[in-house]
Amino acid sequence: MNMIFFLLLCLLVLGTYYAGRQRAAGMRNGTTLLHSLPNYHGLLLGTAALLVGLFVYAALASAMPAIAPWAALAAAAASAYAFFTKISPDFRARNLFERITLGLLVACSAVAILTTLGIVLSVLFETGRFFKEVSVFEFFTGLRWAPTGTPPVFGFIPLLAGTLLITLIAICVAGPLGLLSAIYMAEYATPTTRSIFKPVLEMLTGIPTVVLGFFAALSVAPFVRNSGEFMGLAVSSESALAAGLVIGMMLIPVISSLSDDVINAVPQSMRDGSYAMGATKSETIKRVILPAALPGIVSAFILAVSRALGETMIVVMAAGLAANLTANPLSSVTTMTVQIAMLLVGDHEFDSAKTLAAFALGFVLFIFTLILNFIALRLVQKYKEQYD
């Protein structure tokens, strides 16, 4: 029934649009001018029918599901007919339609803001409940994480160390490769080469992270372990290095694509001025193009860091679940996002400290990424002023 209702509503909206446009167009002649173009009259009728129909259906769907579709269609037709009778050369359809559009844009913005605010408040509320059971000092200074132990221990430092270690490895892989590939495609590659390599590189973003996790667990992790053993090093079967390498591979197209767009946006006049002063291509790239594109490049790196911080599947399958406090990339570690997923898997009571710890980790991760974005914004503003 829902599909039939939405199909009928779409047909009604299209019908009212064409009816309103045709009626307005028929009133226009050599001596009579319309305040608004015929399209605006049609758009006003179609928008009124759509909004009223959806509102009535949403209001009646739960209380009277049998009559809700027909009542919504009747209300939509009545609202369209009311505006249809008002069509005249002096009717300000454009003004009214633009006010309705503005209201919809404001409503969409408000939904986004309220959704974000609701998420923050819910996480903050549950975090407060967690810290009523666990000391803030113990959480932020504890060196051991064992939420299922007896008694449970909630030391945040091992998770922070594992998260930063994997993120650092990933950025060390993705940063240079992504930036250098962007420079090559923007400044050196021929159009034919660029048309081949850029889509192939961006295909990496479409690979599901679970597939990358399988690749990390079945190929990269054994390669890292065998290479380490060949050199006489003790390597865990699941390591931060394996996870960081695969996450870095995943982030290469993020940095490359964004940096490429930013480099291409640098005005050609800056390149021409550098060449006119006798600079070589490499000198122009190092001293003119990269400084001018620095705000966008910084934004690309910060976005890559945020994605690395939020990655879960690759870490689970390549780095393991052990919360070890170590800076050794050959050891098994875990991250905040992995522990959030593990703590909320299965049926759990939301009154236990073990489950509430996931919200505390989520809140800390949110604050961490917020600080990163603030730093990136300040850097962008600082260097953007220099090249305006």
3-state SS, residue 123: helix
Single out the residue of 328, 335, 310 nearest to residue 224, CA to CA.
Answer: 328
Among residues 176, 201, 203, 171, the alpha carbon closest in space to that of 189 is found at: 201
388 pLDDT higher than 70: no
pLDDT tens track for 135-165: 888 888 888 888 877 788 888 899 999 999 9
Task: Evaluate whether 336 touches 359 at the Cβ level (below 8 Å).
Answer: no
- Average pLDDT for the chain: 86
Global confidence as pTM: 0.76
- What CATH class does 145-387 carry? mainly alpha
Residue 6 has pLDDT above 80, yes or no: yes
Q: What is the pLDDT of residues 35-77, one digit of tens each?
A: 888 888 899 899 999 999 888 888 888 778 788 888 888 998 9
Q: At residue 256, does pLDDT exceed 70?
A: yes
Write out the DSSP string of 302-355.
HHHHHHHHH--HHHHHHT-S-------TTS----HHHHHHHHHSS---TTSHHH
CB of 201 closer than 8 Å to CB of 256: yes
- Domain ranges for the chain, please list them: 2-107, 145-387
Tokens encoding 328 = 């050794």
